[in-house]
Structure 1
């Protein structure tokens, strides 16, 4: 009972001193939605590293072919199947850039010395003697074209179609959703084959196929979000003030869906890149002498055992692209989706 005998000081019953001038002071600067999202993205190291990697790959795709003195489509059969050789790294024994390759019997040979070749092919050459370095970065341009095409289609067709369908509802929504069901029921591969029959195998056929069906998933996501928002107070207020339907859709609804749109677009990009690579791998993509990462992987796969570098280099690059875009998408989802915030 000794603990109850302790006396409580009268000072503890004094009222707190409250300074009204500082009670509502904001110690941190106010941030808008995008500034707060950027701060959250910066905390995600994987997304930042992936963003840097994508930036480097985009720069290399633009300037990479011009860094090499060899044209991507120039053939030189005397220089066929040369292994990678880099001047600054050829004397480093543990790096595979010394121009040598190991035969099946275990012997190490140097094709550059055997053929008396003085040039340096940084990524080696293919079976026709074409420079792999310039061809890889030329193929990277195709992959980036597919990536930005898929993003553009999602942003324009998918967002507009889904927003209009969800906003008006009723008969318009039923008709537009039946169109989506028909398009989603047709596999992309079938559409590409039909485009090849009408057109020719190449980038145009892939572009048309993506334009026809690439926006369906985005339209469904946007429609579902618009159905949630169209009866909220800010939309009803805009209607009361006499705002037109187009103004409500494109000025009020779509800006409130920016986070969802960006997240889904970033997840669409790697799928589109893989779709083009798959088509090129099975022979339905680009045709010679054009190159994409898919065609380079297909060509390297045919001689993978003898010349593994011909497939490894484009395979590593396309893997890095897809992983980086997925990491960026994960970072943006954590930053822009309110449900993911702690």
Structure 2
């Protein structure tokens, strides 16, 4: 016999009663601008890896010289031009202190009876390269911090005032900016050398004079676009002061642009210092920076490549990591890149 399907009552087809409380229920938690940007940055693996590498380099710049028992400025000519030698790794045949001299592989540690371990080797004066690399990295990080502070303080404030005031004030400020930008950084440093000794102070003054121009122009352009927005006009109508409009309403809306441009300014400033030290008008001996270490290693690159390669690797990691982080932050803060 065939099974007769059960008859379904008609009231079961009636629509479910509406619950108006569900219409106002928020299914997804609200996100602030910062949290929303962080969620997008977190998806960018290159930016996260770059941030971790930068953090490791910062930590090593702080504690690195203390990890070595050798003073970065102490000379020991008898231990000059030693190749890298690292415990444990020497047991597997790498970084064991051996090098080729005239096509013949030798081990200077064994020949000279040296029992110490120089992890990155030594330079021609017998100074420990490991501690000198991290001391030099401190200089690069100082330049990076200085460039960021100058951009945040001078560049942002100058751009805010110029764009917000407009009219004659903006014209005068922009003409001043054009005059300053017409003077290359290298010329400023050379002029500083006539007054000050070559060193970090002349580089600092050069950055203070010309390092903030790009940020000021970017901020001014954004302020010109935002100053006539409805929320600015509404605040002005309610009696908000210019100071409140600038730092309470405009500045938070410019935070993304400021952070992105700062991340791209940092590599330029680090390379600027390394370039000056490399051509001999930056830091002077016996002071160490990545630029001076590269310049010293460049002279003996064919025979002792590690003297140049190791500082180059460190500065390349810093520059590439900063650029990748800048790309990640740009994608996170740019509204057009929203998922």
Q: Please state which band the TM-score falls in when normalised by the shorter chain.
A: over 0.9
How far is 1:21 from its partner? 2.8
TM-score of the aligned structures, taking structure 1 as reference length: 0.93
Which of 242, 267, 271 does residue 274 from structure 1 map onto?
271
Distance 2:157 2:102 in 1: 58
Distance 2:284 2:120 in 1: 21
Partner SS, residue 22 of structure 2: coil
How far is 1:255 from its partner? 1.1
**Which 5+ residue runs of structure 1 have no aligned equivalent?**
1-9
- Alignment match, 1:24: 24
Query: CA offsets per residue over residues 213-272 of structure 1, 9 Å max, x none?
Result: 000000000000000111111211222222221221112111110000000000000111
- Alignment match, 1:102: 100
How far is 1:24 from its partner? 3.3
- Alignment match, 2:124: 127
Pairing of 1:308-327 with structure 2 (within 5 A)? 308-327=305-324
- Alignment match, 1:291: 288
Distance 1:104 1:236 in 2: 77
Distance 2:140 2:273 in 1: 7
Residue 89, structure 1, aligned to residue 89, structure 2? yes
The CA RMSD measured in Å over matched residues stands at 1.6
Pairing of 1:173-188 with structure 2 (within 5 A)? 173-188=170-185
Partner SS, residue 22 of structure 1: helix
Residue 337, structure 1, aligned to residue 334, structure 2? yes
- Alignment match, 1:66: 66
Pairing of 1:242-281 with structure 2 (within 5 A)? 242-281=239-278
How far is 1:16 from its partner? 7.2
How far is 1:83 from its partner? 0.2
How far is 1:186 from its partner? 1.0
Pairing of 1:37-48 with structure 2 (within 5 A)? 37-48=37-48
Which of 148, 151, 154 does residue 148 from structure 2 map onto?
151
Aligned residue pairs, count: 330
Partner SS, residue 109 of structure 1: strand
TM-score of the aligned structures, taking structure 2 as reference length: 0.94
Greater than 3 Å deviation, 4+ residue runs = 13-19
